[in-house]
């Protein structure tokens, strides 16, 4: 591997920027393709982006046969992260589901009576206001943001930061009526309907879940669907 390519991969990882190393197994030529479409390597073209999108979504290395030869695509994705706002009962189940699925989980709730070690043992807890917590740990394109507080004082500030980020998933707990009221508040703050369409609300796939654990399963399913099929 060329030193320049290695340095670019290291820089991408430091900045949590997904990148794919493309190696022509026949010629030995190598190049890089980033999540935003930027490419490094004169022999790369737009046709490679389709393959890059596939391996990034599936998060695994793959080989493709092309007219230019056999290509090996190696993925360098940042870790998956989930930021959960609201230390409620649903969060207790969702934290563990997300960890099983390989996410680094951060639970944010300024209310220490809810977000404490007794209720969330071993979980990375942040007892800060959500907007401050998200700005201190900016979401990237491998981050899912889930607001469960069902309280505008907590959910709305988190959503405002989330909508200005590259988070691949944004979901907020609440009924359709709650979602409509939420959209009205955010529109009054200058957000457009197109931007607000990023928020999944009511949150989760419609599997008929009722208990906190079932709702957590529906949320995790929707996050996975968005990550793998978006």
Q: What is the mean pLDDT of residues 49-70?
A: 83
Contacts of 32 (CB under 8 A, 6+ apart): 5, 8, 9, 12, 19, 20, 21, 22, 39, 40, 41
Going by pLDDT thresholds of 50, 70 and 90, the confidence category of residue 54 is: confident
Q: Are residues 67 and 90 in the same domain?
A: no
Residue in this structure with the two tokens 């404490």, named with its chain if needed: 116
Residue in this structure with the two tokens 């980020």, named with its chain if needed: 165
Number of alpha carbons in the 13 Å side-chain half-sphere of residue 141: 16
Residue in this structure with the two tokens 């200058």, named with its chain if needed: 190
Residue in this structure with the two tokens 């999540």, named with its chain if needed: 35
Report the CATH number that the domain containing residue 136 is assigned in CATH.
3.40.50.720
Going by pLDDT thresholds of 50, 70 and 90, the confidence category of residue 230 is: low
Q: Are residues 27 and 95 in the same domain?
A: no
Q: Are residues 218 and 130 in the same domain?
A: yes
Strand ranges (E), the chain: 19-24, 30-34, 39-40, 62-66, 69-76, 81-85, 104-108, 124-126, 143-147, 169-172, 199-200
Q: Are residues 38 and 99 in the same domain?
A: no
Q: What is the mean pLDDT of residues 61-77?
A: 87
Q: What is the mean pLDDT of residues 48-75?
A: 84
Provide the residue range defining the domain that includes 200: 81-229
Q: What pLDDT does residue 131 have?
A: 95
**pTM of the full structure:** 0.82
Domain total for the chain?
2
- The runs of H, that is alpha helices, within 47-144 are 47-58, 89-100, 130-136
């Amino acid at each position: 591997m060329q030193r320049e390519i290695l340095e670019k991969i290291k820089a991408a990882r430091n900045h949590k920027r997904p990148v794919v190393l493309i190696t022509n197994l026949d010629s030995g030529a190598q190049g890089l393709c980033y999540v935003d479409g930027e490419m490094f390597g004169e022999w790369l073209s737009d046709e490679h982006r389709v393959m890059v999108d596939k391996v990034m979504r599936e998060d695994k290395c793959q080989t493709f046969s092309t007219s230019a030869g056999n290509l090996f695509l190696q993925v360098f994705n940042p870790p998956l992260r989930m930021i959960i706002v609201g230390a409620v009962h649903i969060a207790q189940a969702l934290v563990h589901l997300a960890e099983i699925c390989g996410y680094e989980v951060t639970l944010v709730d300024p209310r220490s009576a809810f977000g404490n070690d007794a209720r969330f043992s071993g979980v990375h807890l942040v007892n800060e206001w959500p907007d401050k917590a998200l700005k201190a740990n900016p979401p990237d394109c491998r981050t899912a943001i889930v607001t469960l507080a069902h309280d505008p004082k907590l959910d709305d500030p988190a959503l405002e930061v989330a909508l200005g980020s590259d988070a691949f998933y944004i979901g907020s707990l609440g009924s359709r009526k709650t979602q409509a009221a939420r959209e009205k508040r955010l529109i009054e703050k200058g957000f457009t309907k197109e931007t607000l369409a990023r928020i999944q609300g009511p949150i989760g796939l419609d599997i008929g879940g009722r208990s906190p654990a079932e709702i957590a399963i529906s949320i995790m399913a929707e996050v996975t669907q968005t990550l793998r099929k978006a």
